Structure formats: structure tokens, C-alpha cells
Amino acid sequence: MSRTVVVTGATSGIGRAAAQAFAARGDRLVLAARSPEALDQVRAECRAVGATVLTVPTDVTDSARVEELADTAEREFGRIDVWAHTAAVMAYGRFEEIPERVFEQVIRTDLLGAAVVAREALRRLRATGGGTLVLTGSVLGHITAPYMSAYVASKWGLHGLVRTLQQEGRDRPDVRICLVSPGSVDTPVYQQAANHLGWAGRPPPPATDARRVARAVLDCVDRPRREVSVGRLNGLMRLGFTVLPGTYDVLVGPLMRRVGLTGERTPPHDGVVFAPAPAGSAVRGGWGSGLTGLVRLVRNLRSG
């Protein structure tokens, strides 16, 4: 049966892959992101497979715009059945060297923006008889990595928020809340990240294909679960972080410098933290995934 699905963060990476996947199975789509130009591209892709699509330029940090987004979806399609939230930005740098305005905007987008969306989505789903809210977390909501303090703080906060919402929502089993937590993913978010570190970032191999994470999002809609982890090394990293914290802290810095940075120098810049870059929007970031990424990891470690 066709559902009405709102996707926030629909123009790049996991969000774009999820929009395409929902479209392919015939759902009605309401797509939201900051860039009208990039939204037009995704709308064309989804309409090409026969989906009914609306686009609503939206900044998730603006509660009034998120409310307008929900109003539009209900006005056009009667109700919202699914809300998939994937919008996120990233910044590289030592904590004391990231400008305060950049750090706070990452938190504002990745944590407070997710809270804005969750508040609006849950209000609508409860008013219309139920549905599913899927939020996108990260393995960095369970572990830490140097040079990514704002993103890590946001994802830890998001994990805590989702668990709390799940606890508070036990009296409404018709409203399902799911968290999809990927590890390293081949998306453009690394190229688009703010950088005040001096070295460009990349997804530590082996990176997961964004379409695999999108499938996990759709699977949560069909078979809701508290949290789904996507990534070959997620469990190992979480185990090391929890069971051997001292060893983890010794190793994570050198590993991050070896496999989480490219070695390419970059001047300080704010990436897409404050404004979108439509030309950089895509499903993949071009980093490679799966076996290719694992081979790259082994080569990097050997060369070190």
C-alpha cells in the first residue's frame, strides 16, 4: 500500500538514496532540504520511476519552516505515514580550534534540528492514528573519534533523545520511533564538511554504500526496531570503546590520522554548515565501499 513519506535531508547521501528507494516502491514523497536546486534534481529522479513527489525547501533548524513542511504534506496527501530524517552536517578540527559559531551550528543542525523534526513528526503521527519516525544516528553516537567533537556530541545527544522518546512513547505503540546508526558511509558529507584542521577528511574504510543504509531505513518502516546498526566494523569498535577504553584511546588518534584523513592539505573553510552547495549533492561521495575500501585500509596501515 502506498504511503506518504516525508524525507528531510533528501538531496544528498543517505537521504537521497532513501528518497529514491521510497519512490521505487510507489510511495508518495514530500522531500525537504535547504537547496531548491538540488531538490529539483531529486524530484526528477523520483518522478522518473513514477512516484508522486512534492519538494519543500526547508532548514530543519527553523521550527516554523518544519511546521510548514508538515502542513504541506497533510494538505496535499491527507496525512503523514512515515517521516525519515537524515539531515546532518559535519566539521573537522581540534575542539579549541573550531570556531564557536561552526561548533554551535553543527549542534544546532544535527541535534536540535533532529529535535525540531521529531517534535513535529510525533505530533502529526499521534494526531492521525500512528506511523513511523526514523532518525539517522551514527556509530559515533556510541563511540568517539578525535577532530570531530561537534558531530560526536550531536550524535551522542541524538541517541539519548531517541531512547527517551521511545521510553515516553510506550503508551502509543501505533507511533513507532526507530534509529538507524551507520558507521562509515560513502557519501559527500566528508567533502562538504567544515574543516579547521588543515587536512581533508574521508570515511574510514571499509565504507558502506549509502543505498545499504537507505534499505535499513525502509526496513525500519516495514519492521520497526529500536535501533539498527549498519557497518561491518561497528560492533568491534563499540566493543573496544567499552571493554578496552585505554587501548581504544591510544589507537584511535593514529588510526584517525591514517584512515580518517586524506593527507591532502586544505585551508580553513565552513563547508556546507551554514549554506548548501547544490553542486556537491549526490548519493555517493566517490570513496568506494565494501571490499575495495577494506583493501585500501590494509594498504594504508601497511604504508604507515
Q: Would you give the end-to-end CA distance of the chain in angstroms?
A: 53
Query: CA 128, CA 108: separation in Å to the nearest integer?
Result: 29
C-alpha 279, offset from chain centre: 19
Residue 275: all three cell numbers together: 549554506
Choose the catalytic residue: 92, 147, 151, 248.
Answer: 151
Q: Is 151 a catalytic residue?
A: yes
Backbone torsion region of residue 47, taken as left when φ is above 0, otherwise alpha when ψ lies between -120 and 50, otherwise beta? alpha
CA distance readout (Å), 141 to 82, 96, 277: 23, 21, 26
For 107, what's the count of Cα atoms within 13 Å in the CB-facing half-sphere? 12
Spatial separation of the C-alpha atoms in residues 133 and 92, rounded to whole Å: 29
Q: Which residues are catalytic?
A: 151
